[in-house]
Amino acid sequence: MKLRKSRLQRKGRIEIIPMIDVMFFLLATFMLASLSMQNLDALKVNLPQGSSSQLTSTTPLTLVVTADNRLLLNHQPVALASLAALIHQHLPADHSLVVSSDRHAEHGTVVEAMLAAQKAGIAHFQIAIAHD
């Protein structure tokens, strides 16, 4: 009489799908944690809602357009006519500028300021937004 084994021998295998799910969860967690560490050295303005990537650790050159259309470059009031010269003096190595504009600021003022910055040598603009 031949007896069968109660347990069949099965070869073990590693499931990759749960590991991928865990990796995506960790990626999302680290992305959200890095967004909470973002430190913009700017004045408080009423920003539009959205999402963005993490800024570099160096202090960026910031341009603030307030609700009453005043311009501030790194917290210093500046006129639109002299904006290009001041940006050219403080031009960062990465040629980028963080634009922080109030949602009630006039669109024309923001565009004119960005065009003046572009003439001064700014190649990349980063638009500041409020996070949910």
- Could you give the 3-state DSSP secondary structure of residue 88? helix
Q: Is the pLDDT of residue 64 over 80?
A: yes
Q: Is the pLDDT of residue 57 over 60?
A: no
Q: Indicate the DSSP class of residue 105.
A: S
pTM comes to: 0.55
Asked if residue 47 lies in contact with residue 129, where contact means CB atoms within 8 angstroms, the answer is yes
Is 119 a member of any domain?
yes
Is 76 a member of any domain?
yes
Is 110 a member of any domain?
yes
Residue 112 one-letter amino acid:
E
Per-residue model confidence (pLDDT) at position 96: 87
Is 27 a member of any domain?
no
Is 7 a member of any domain?
no
Which pLDDT band, with edges at 50, 70 and 90, does 4 fall under? low
Is 83 a member of any domain?
yes
CATH number at residue 117: 3.30.420
End-to-end CA distance of the chain: 72
Is 9 a member of any domain?
no
Is 109 a member of any domain?
yes
Per-residue model confidence (pLDDT) at position 5: 63
Q: For the chain, what is the mean pLDDT?
A: 82
Element (H, E) at 69: none
Name the residue range of residue 111's domain: 62-127
Q: Indicate the DSSP class of residue 30.
A: H
How many domains does the structure of the chain reveal?
A: 1
